Structure formats: structure tokens, C-alpha cells
């Protein structure tokens, strides 16, 4: 059996909730202002799940759109990887909920990957390896989040930052000799920083009880300042490593998609790399921080708008809870 030398992204798609939560809406909920939120974060509005909607529903929509964009059918998908830290349930896993939402009859396996905001790029590395070793042919890698379901809407430090949504990429083999595809991936972690972003009572270490519920330990907690410092440092480290592995410099990168956490973190990355602003993709003002969904959402948008053209080289770079970090270079 001839193994593919390179995998690539065959198609991308998004699943975007319709409900919008604006800064003006938040001004009515907590002691904050549109001015504070936009100047400190760059966020003007975010999408949120409406009552009855689920994370997997939008993950499935993103897969349907990505499959269409790739010119494939759902029957071609032989593995589903759901990158999320806000699954519908801890069990069953989120990928099986996507499987169910898609109504897949086939036996394609489905598993979750929790790399928090770096999850989608972690997922790309796993999918790239599995395609190049011939284990699977067409893998749906989904970044999907329902973060607002786990946010305390009385805590102004966190509730203004996040949004919900999903984006998916279909990863498959590139034709032999093609210079397109996933040129490099790099993933890293620093577990010493595990307590900087947490959902404390969401697992088995501190199971939810009345006292923890009262203390809102089921909601997201974050040390924003420390995460900010880590992000600014690690984005450079991760991109440098991914570019080295692809034998490239920043001048070779046509478009850079940083994790859409905060406009000031993206500005710091622009300064660090000396990359012209018009080569940095930014949609944080409309979506807020959607964690694992942020990069595939941005990818989906620039493919749909035609900004990302065949032959362009894209840099993806992320950081998140864990702490995790990751980068990838992809030629379109």
C-alpha cells in the first residue's frame, strides 16, 4: 500500500448560532461598559446557544458544510474528532453526539480531544498523522464550543469574553507531488499552569454538590493577567517551531490566524513577528473567544469570502487552558 506523503485540508465549514449577545446586552447584566470590553478585548458581540440548542448540533452543521466544501459526502468521513472542552455531556462523548446529529449509519469511530483553545490545532496534528499512516482517509476535525453554558453571567471578569460556535475541517490525503497541504504541526503543553483557566467542578476530582454549586465552581474561572502574559510569550515560541519544521520564515506566511482570544494578544503577536496587519485574520469583534472553534471559524469565513486563495500559505497558532499551545503551517 502506498502511503500519502502529505495530508491537507480538503474543505472547511462553520456552524454559527443565530443568537447575538452584544456588549450593550452585557451592560444590562453586569457592571461593565462597551468601552471597557472593546478597548480591553476587541469584542463587540458574540454568538450564544439559545435555549434547547446544543454544541453538537452546531458541530454537525460545521461538518455538513465542510463536507460540501470538500466535494465529498458524509459517507466519505471515516473518523470524527471533536475538539472541545464544553461537550454536551462527559458521557457520551461530543463526537458521538455529532455522529448522532449527522445521522451517520456507518461505523466511523468518534472521539473527543480536549486541548482547550489549542484543541483544533492539536486535532489537525492527530488527523495529519492518521492520514499519512493510512489508518483513515477522510477525517472530520471539529472545533466546537458551548462556553456560555459554563460561564457565570454575574462575573464580569469572564462573561464578557466568550462566545459559542463551531468550525470543521476535512483532513485527507493530498495527491502525490502536490505542494499543498499540512506542511507542519507543533503541539506543546505546560501542566504547571493547569490552575490558570479551570472549570473546577466539572469532573471527578471535585464532583458537583450543593456547596460547590453555591460557590459556582461549575463555572469557568480564569486568571486573566497570567494567561495574557503566557499567551504573548508562547504564541511566538509555537509559531517559530512550526515555521522551522516547515523550513519557512514569517515572510512566507500569507495569512496568520491566531486564536481569537483578545485583540491585544493578537496585536502583541503582530509586533513580535513584524507581520503586516493586513495579513492577520481577526474576527474576535463578532465572535469573542470561542476557544477550539475560533481558528476553524476564521478559516471557514476566509474560505467563504474568497480571501484565502489556492496557493496561499496560512499560519495557525493557539494557546489555551492546560496550559496548551500549538501551531501549524498549511498551504492551501
Active site residues: 117, 259, 289
Nearest to ligand UT7 of 82, 262 (CB atom): 262
- C-alpha cell at position 330: 498549511
Stretch that binds ligand UT7, among 62-70, 79-87, 219-227, 300-308 (CB under 6 A): 219-227
227 is a contact residue toward ligand UT7 (CB under 6 A): yes
Give 3-state DSSP helix, strand, coil % of the chain, rounded to 5: 40, 25, 35
Stretch that binds ligand UT7, among 35-43, 164-172, 240-248, 306-314 (CB under 6 A): 35-43
Stretch that binds ligand UT7, among 88-96, 178-186, 220-228, 306-314 (CB under 6 A): 220-228
Ramachandran sector of residue 224 (left: φ over 0; alpha: ψ -120 to 50; beta: rest): alpha
In whole angstroms, the minimum distance from the beta carbon of 87 to ligand UT7 comes to 17
Whole-angstrom CA distances from 282 to 12, 86, 126, 265 are: 17, 23, 26, 11
| Binding characters for ligand UT7, 36-75, by CB under 6 A (x = yes) | xx--xx----------------------------------
Stretch that binds ligand UT7, among 68-76, 82-90, 205-213, 221-229 (CB under 6 A): 221-229
In whole angstroms, the minimum distance from the beta carbon of 231 to ligand UT7 comes to 6
Distance CA 165, CA 47 (A): 7
Q: How many CB atoms lie within 10 A of CB 156?
A: 17
Distance CA 140, CA 169 (A): 6
Out of 10, 108, 170, 197, the residue judged to bind ligand UT7 by CB under 6 A: 197
DSSP sequence for 192-220: GGTTSEE-GGGSSSS---HHHHHTTTTS-
Nearest to ligand UT7 of 34, 304 (CB atom): 34
Q: Residue written as cell 502525490?
A: 176
228 is a contact residue toward ligand UT7 (CB under 6 A): yes
Alpha helices in the chain (DSSP H): 23-27, 34-41, 55-69, 94-102, 119-132, 156-159, 210-214, 224-245, 263-273, 284-287, 294-305
Nearest to ligand UT7 of 36, 153 (CB atom): 36
Out of 28, 105, 214, 225, the residue judged to bind ligand UT7 by CB under 6 A: 225
Out of 95, 231, 238, 298, the residue judged to bind ligand UT7 by CB under 6 A: 231
Candidates 242, 205, 208, 220; CA nearest to 291 is 220
Nearest to ligand UT7 of 246, 293 (CB atom): 293
Distance CA 59, CA 168 (A): 7
Ramachandran sector of residue 12 (left: φ over 0; alpha: ψ -120 to 50; beta: rest): beta
295 is a contact residue toward ligand UT7 (CB under 6 A): no
In whole angstroms, the minimum distance from the beta carbon of 32 to ligand UT7 comes to 3
CB 253, CB 314: distance < 8 Å: yes
Nearest to ligand UT7 of 132, 156 (CB atom): 156
Stretch that binds ligand UT7, among 12-20, 48-56, 124-132, 155-163 (CB under 6 A): 155-163
Interface with ligand UT7 by CB under 6 A: which residues? 32, 36-37, 40-41, 117, 156-157, 160, 197, 222, 224-225, 227-228, 231, 261-262, 289, 291, 320
Amino acid at each position: 500500500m502506498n502511503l500519502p506523503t502529505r495530508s491537507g485540508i480538503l474543505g472547511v465549514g462553520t456552524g454559527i448560532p443565530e443568537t447575538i449577545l452584544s456588549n450593550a446586552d452585557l451592560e444590562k447584566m453586569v457592571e461593565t461598559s462597551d468601552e471597557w470590553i472593546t478597548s480591553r478585548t476587541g469584542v463587540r458581540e458574540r454568538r450564544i446557544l439559545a435555549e434547547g440548542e446544543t454544541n453538537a448540533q452546531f458541530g454537525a452543521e460545521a461538518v455538513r458544510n465542510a463536507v460540501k466544501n470538500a466535494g465529498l459526502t458524509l459517507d466519505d468521513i471515516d473518523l470524527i474528532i471533536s475538539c472541545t472542552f464544553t461537550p454536551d455531556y462527559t458521557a457520551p462523548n461530543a463526537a458521538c453526539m455529532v455522529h448522532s446529529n449527522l445521522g451517520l449509519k456507518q461505523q466511523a469511530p468518534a472521539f473527543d480531544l480536549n486541548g482547550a483553545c489549542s484543541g483544533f490545532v492539536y486535532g489537525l496534528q492527530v488527523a495529519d498523522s492518521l492520514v499519512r499512516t493510512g489508518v483513515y482517509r477522510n477525517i472530520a476535525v471539529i472545533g466546537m464550543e458551548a462556553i456560555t453554558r459554563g460561564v457565570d453571567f454575574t462575573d464580569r471578569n469572564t462573561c464578557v469574553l466568550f462566545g459559542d460556535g463551531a468550525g470543521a475541517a476535512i483532513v485527507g490525503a493530498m495527491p502525490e507531488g502536490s505542494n499543498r497541504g499540512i506542511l507542519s504541526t507543533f503541539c506543546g503543553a505546560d501542566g504547571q499552569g493547569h490552575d490558570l483557566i479551570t472549570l473546577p467542578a466539572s469532573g471527578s476530582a471535585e464532583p458537583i454538590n450543593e456547596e460547590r454549586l453555591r460557590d459556582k465552581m461549575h463555572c469557568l474561572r480564569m486568571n486573566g493577567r497570567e494567561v495574557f502574559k503566557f499567551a504573548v510569550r508562547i504564541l511566538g515560541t509555537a509559531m517559530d517551531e512550526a515555521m522551522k519544521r516547515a523550513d519557512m520564515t514569517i515572510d512566507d506566511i500569507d495569512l496568520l490566524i491566531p486564536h481569537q482570544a483578545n485583540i491585544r494578544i493578537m496585536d502583541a503577536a503582530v509586533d513580535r513577528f513584524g507581520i503586516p496587519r493586513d495579513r492577520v485574520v481577526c474576527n474576535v469583534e463578532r465572535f469573542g473567544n470561542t476557544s477550539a472553534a475560533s481558528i476553524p471559524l476564521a478559516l471557514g469565513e476566509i474560505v467563504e469570502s474568497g480571501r484565502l486563495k489556492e496557493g496561499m500559505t496560512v499560519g495557525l497558532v493557539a494557546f489555551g487552558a492546560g496550559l496548551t499551545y500549538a501551531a501549524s503551517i498549511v498551504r492551501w
